[in-house]
Amino acid sequence: MRLLTIFTLILFSLSPQNLSYTQSQLNECVLGVRQSPIILGVPETSIENFCKCALSSKSSKGLIDSSSINECASENFG
């Protein structure tokens, strides 16, 4: 029984994450954010985390509202 439990935990930990965005959308977001002069000097991880947060907060219509973007920005940049 323990072996089955351990095996199941390993399978869940190795399974890919189900993201609500594609890698190309993430790359596009990161490139867009880097173009902003306000972001100069911000670590790459902060930019990526901001984009992941913003893209994950898309509504069912595929839109991202400004309050979600502001919340993601304050979490990652400020």
pLDDT digits (tens, 9 = 90+) for 11-20: 445 445 556 7
Mean pLDDT calculated for residue range 20-34: 91
Higher-confidence position of 69 and 13: 69
- The conformational region for residue 11 under phi > 0 = left, psi -120 to 50 = alpha, else beta, is alpha
List CB contacts of 53: < 8 A, sequence separation 6 or more: 71, 72, 75, 76
What pTM value is reported for the model?
0.69
List CB contacts of 25: < 8 A, sequence separation 6 or more: 55
Q: How far is CA 13 from CA 25, 53, 60, 70, in A?
A: 24, 21, 27, 31
Q: What is the mean pLDDT of the chain?
A: 79
